[in-house]
Structure 1
Amino acid sequence: MAEGDAQTPGHEVVGLGREKIKGVFSTQSVAKVGTGTTQRRTIQKTYWSVEELPGDKVSVQPLNRNYVPSGPRRDIPKDEFLSKFNPEPEFYMTTVFPAIREMDDAVVRGEKNRERGAAYSAEFEFKRATSIDEENVRANFGLGLTYLDRGDQVKANDIFERLVTLEAAFQSEHKHLFNDFGINMRKNRMYDQALKYYLRAEELVQNDEHLFHNIARCYFEKGDIANCRKYLKKSLEVNPELKESKLFLEYLRKQGHLGPNGAENGSLNLD
């Protein structure tokens, strides 16, 4: 569901005579509790955030204990979905939507506080959002950037360890936050963390000249001229006109780190 979208789920019209499946749905399973003569069967209900995809597939994501979508998505055949999932429009309106709104509002307040330099107020709001969903990407990035702004590398590293495991953190919708976080880690001399972060992104992101450029910068800071050159080359192969990579390569050449044809020449001296 879109942020702030309070429409009744499961009834989004996308074309004449056709409705797209979207909203909160539930599944039920039977579990056995206890042993022997005290054993009994209970019905367990699980709630899901659901969106129909092209090709007769449906994407489902579980709701966490605070009733907001969290965790990995998976795609299932539409026929399987229709046979196992039940719509929960009233539960969405009374429980899920208010929880999502509370979380989103906390993130927005955190971002505004960070923009005006109120780091501790920003930290409070981002923590409030992560208490509702510890995997919320915007809240985690905001919290990490707030710690980097304060120069608190220990806490920033804790956030880094969480973000590097979240595939959602590297999706295109979060690209500006992803770039800011990596750049700020490098500026805080967290070179190993920044490099691990960028190399994780390389596994998940299609050819991105800016990502390759940032990896080259990290290798440069670590004194690894061979890999710096390798990733600058990859950056320029994707976009031969990327100004930053062209200037960086020319800088290396002027410093005597590259030969006239871009070949490595001597060792890198960062002093």
Structure 2
Amino acid sequence: MPQEEKNATPAGHAADSGKTDVRGVFSTQEIRKVGTGTTTRKTVQKTFWFIEQRGDVIECQPLNTNYVPSGPKRKITMDELISKFAPEPEFYLNSVYPKMRELRQSVDNADAHREKGENFAAEYEYTRALKVDEENVRANFGIGLTYMERGDVEKAQDIFERLVKLDGAFEAEHKHLFNEFGINLRKNKMLQQAVDYYKRALELTQNDENLHMNMARALLETKDINGCLDHLLQALAIAPAHESSLKFLSWMVQRNLVPEDRQEAARAALQALARDADPAE
């Protein structure tokens, strides 16, 4: 049986290795009118943002009520940063940075517990983290994996529904997590959820041969052979020498799973596979 592709950049690695030019809390102010007629008065609403720059890209993310960056990120220009945002270094150092560090530590502890198979301790730490930031991607993936590892499908389903709504869950820095989560959905026989999950990931990351290969693996188990082949061939269109997809396709050909009208396309894709390669089991 062909295996899913797991090799991907660990979460946070790209962020840690990239050059950071600007990193901190900034604020914007908006003047609003309150009331009507003679009771009209102006109020100033101040909003805090976490801003981080890597190279030419500057990302802006709102702070939640617990003073941690949470929610969707948006890109801004340096001109916007200079003209519309005011730095808040004291607020960052005294309030935001300590909360971010505390949140990161909770998730790190939870990940360590999960890797040791200490699921209840992991769940406790992930839950602590989610109380601070309910949209924290690592905590959501982690607690979802913890639920699946102990067979709690109902709770895993709740996490699945939350994750498919989070665009940030499918960013490159979380790639190894969303691959692992999708694989675990399939292994827990949550096949339609696995398909829906990979479909959502592919909406945001189209040119990823590993995702297409993993989608093909999920579709094979739902008996959607044509859909499976579509994604396998798409993976090979992106990366013609992708070993996992080639072995997967070879495995399907050897077991006569490829419809007759698609055998020519399959043979053409397999020309990149060494003749003596063993099919994946």
**Which residue number corresponds to residue 149 of structure 2?**
149
Deviation of 1:31 after TM superposition, in Å, equals 3.5
* AA partner of residue 145 (structure 1): L
User: Residue 97 of structure 1 corresponds to which residue in structure 2?
Assistant: 97
State the alpha-carbon separation in 1 of the partners of residues 233 and 77 from structure 2: 42
1:136 corresponds to 2:136: yes
C-alpha distance in 2, partners of 1:235/1:263?
Answer: 12
Call closer, same or farther: CA 1:69–1:257 in 2, change over 3 Å: same
Alignment RMSD:
2.4
Q: Secondary structure at the match of 1:42?
A: strand
Report if the CA contact (8 A) 1:49-1:61 is conserved. yes
Match of 1:261 among 238, 241, 264: 264
Aligned to 2:185: 185
* 1-structure distance, mates of 2:266, 2:246: 15
The answer to which structure, 1 or 2, has the higher relative contact order (CA under 8 A, 6+ apart) is 2
Distance 1:251 1:44, change over 3 A: same
Give the SS at the match of 1:121.
Answer: helix
Unpaired segments of 5 or more residues in structure 2? 1-11, 13-18, 268-281
Distance 1:88 1:159 in 2: 35
Question: Offset of 1:207 from its aligned partner?
Answer: 1.6
Match of 1:244 in 2: 244
Q: CA deviation at 1:154?
A: 1.1
- Aligned equivalents of 1:216 and 1:145: distance in 2? 21
Q: Which residue of 2 aligns with 1:269?
A: none
TM-score, with length taken from structure 1:
0.83
Aligned position for 1:221 = 221
Deviation digits for residues 104-155 of structure 1, max 9, x if unmatched? 0100110011111111111111111111111111111101100110111111
CA distance in 2, matches of 1:94, 1:115: 33
Contact 1:29 1:43 in 2 (8 A): yes
Alpha-carbon spacing, 1:256–1:174, altered in 2? closer, same or farther (3 Å): same
Give distance in 1, aligned partners of 2:158 and 2:35: 39
Is contact 2:27–2:85 with CA below 8 Å preserved after alignment?
A: yes
When structure 1 is superposed on structure 2, of 155-164 and 200-209 the one drifting more is: 200-209
Identity of aligned pairs, percent?
A: 52
Alignment-mate amino acid for residue 112 of structure 1: A
The offset of 1:34, in angstroms, is 5.6
Q: Is the 8 A contact 1:24 1:50 kept in 2?
A: yes
Alignment partner, residue 43 of structure 1: 44
The Cα shift of 1:43 comes to 2.5
Contact 1:253 1:262 in 2 (8 A): no
Superposition deviation, residue 51 in structure 1: 2.7
Q: For residues 207 and 60 of structure 2, what CA distance do their matches in structure 1 show? A: 28
**C-alpha spacing 1:262/1:256, structure 2 compared with 1 (3 Å):** farther
Residue in 2 aligned with 1:235? Answer: 235
- Tell me the matched-pair count: 247
Give per-residue Cα distances to partners, 1:157-209, cap 9 Å, x unaligned. Answer: 11111111112111111111111000000000111111111111111114222
Is the aligned partner of 1:73 residue 2:76? no
Amino acid at match of 2:160: F
